[in-house]
Amino acid sequence: MPVLTRLIPSPLVVDIRRGALNDLASVLADQRISSSGKLAIAISGGSGARLRERLSPALPGASWYEVGGGTLDDAVKLADAMKSGRYDAVVGLGGGKIIDCAKFAAARIGLPLVAVATNLSHDGLCSPVATLDNDAGRGSYGVPTPIGVVIDLDIIREAPARFVRSGIGDALSNISAVADWELSARVRGEDIDGLAAAMARQAGEAVLRHPGDVGDDGFLQVLAEGLVLTGISMSVAGDSRPASGACHEINHAFDLLFPKRAASHGEQCGMGAAFAMHLRGAPAESAQMAEVLRRHGLPVVPADIGFTVDEFVQVVEFAPQTRPGRYTILEHLNLSTDQIKDAYADYAKAIGS
């Protein structure tokens, strides 16, 4: 008999609402993730320490581990410190660096990971990847999908608005990334997972079309759900393809060529996505994306983040080298330096900059 369904790797629980953090202990117990309360909780030294004071009374059986940074060494040290305890699960409580370190450490010691995000800066909080700095620069390490995701909108509101804006750019870039995946399927015959593509694209479209802003609970809910769905889409696909195309190649090129001047991940991805949509001959979609980015205070041209046009041209020219083997509109067009300059001039004119 043929297999008519498939199992999708996804969290056992996703709790996104105001006040969610107050119910963390009961949620973990009700979902049988940790009925004993024996948890290893990774936190930062700043906001994490304040949250520890708040949560400790409700989690008397937890052990707290302060994470030094977002490097591979930090993650290995965290795993070594945790492995001597008898825990039900690891909880990563904080931003992207803390959650990625906790993901890696949990995988290393064979425990499930609960991601408790304190900001919405990117789509990695529910992805099967831990991004960590190493001696060679930065690496992506495969890890299991978090077993639980908790996002307290009250905590999200306390984070600097730039973190939410970064998440907006990362979510919107899904639209361009999926278009790149479909291009590769047409031109090179690359397999495309329709479910993963649909999840990632709809997550981006929901953010693109929502009329709210970062001060609106409804908008924050949609953004948080979109970032979680994007992470699940990567689990379904087995890699980052649904959420990483030319937009992310451009982001990586900024990071590698100008490491001390680079903007946030989401800012660079959002701008890269708007430009990539223009390159693929979708001026209306590019203009709409640029309009939404601008409405949320995100960059749409390199000057918005302190770069010249020539520097942006250098970034776009270098971008395909950041992901060898990945086929996007950049590899497809294979533009010369002068052609990139001309394309950028057309883009800037089209979006009114």
3-state secondary structure string across 57-70? HHCCCCEEEECCCC
Tokens read off for 212: 């709210």
Can you give the pLDDT at residue 124? 84
Q: Is the dihedral of CA 306, 310, 316, 321 positive or negative?
A: negative
Phi, psi for residue 40 in degrees, rounded to 5: -105, 115
For the segment 196-212, the average pLDDT, to the nearest whole number, is 97
The percentage of residues in the chain with a pLDDT greater than 90, rounded to a whole number, is 79
Phi, psi for residue 90 in degrees, rounded to 5: -105, 140
Structure-model confidence comparison of residues 95 and 306, the more confident one: 306
Nearest-angstrom CA–CA distance, 285 and 271: 13
Q: Which of 161, 130, 163, 158 is nearest to 144 (CA)?
A: 130
For the segment 140-146, the average pLDDT, to the nearest whole number, is 90
Nearest-angstrom CA–CA distance, 214 and 206: 14
Rounded to 5°, angle at Cα 271 from 265 and 276: 115
Over residues 22-67, the pLDDT tens digits come to: 999 888 887 788 888 899 999 987 778 888 999 999 999 999 999 9
For the segment 169-183, the average pLDDT, to the nearest whole number, is 98
Can you give the pLDDT at residue 2? 63
Nearest-angstrom CA–CA distance, 105 and 117: 17
Q: What is the pTM of this model?
A: 0.93
Indicate whether 250 pLDDT > 70: yes
Mean pLDDT taken over the chain: 93
Least confident of 52-56, 165-169, 228-232, 336-340: 52-56
Nearest-angstrom CA–CA distance, 219 and 296: 11
Indicate whether 1 pLDDT > 60: no
Helix (H, G, I), strand (E, B) or coil at 193: coil
Tokens read off for 123: 């789509």
DSSP H helical segments within 142-295, as ranges? Answer: 153-158, 161-188, 194-209, 217-237, 246-257, 265-279, 283-295
Q: Output the DSSP codes for 104-134.
A: HHHHHHT--EEEEES--S-GGGGSSEEEEEE
Rounded to 5°, angle at Cα 304 from 302 and 307: 40
Nearest-angstrom CA–CA distance, 352 and 339: 20
Indicate whether 285 pLDDT > 90: yes
Read off the amino acid at residue 30.
D
Helix (H, G, I), strand (E, B) or coil at 136: coil
Q: Which of 272, 271, 262 is nearest to 323 (CA)?
A: 272
Rounded to 5°, angle at Cα 98 from 92 and 101: 90
Cα–Cα separations (whole angstroms), residue 4 to 1, 56, 244 = 9, 46, 29
Structure-model confidence comparison of residues 221 and 34, the more confident one: 221
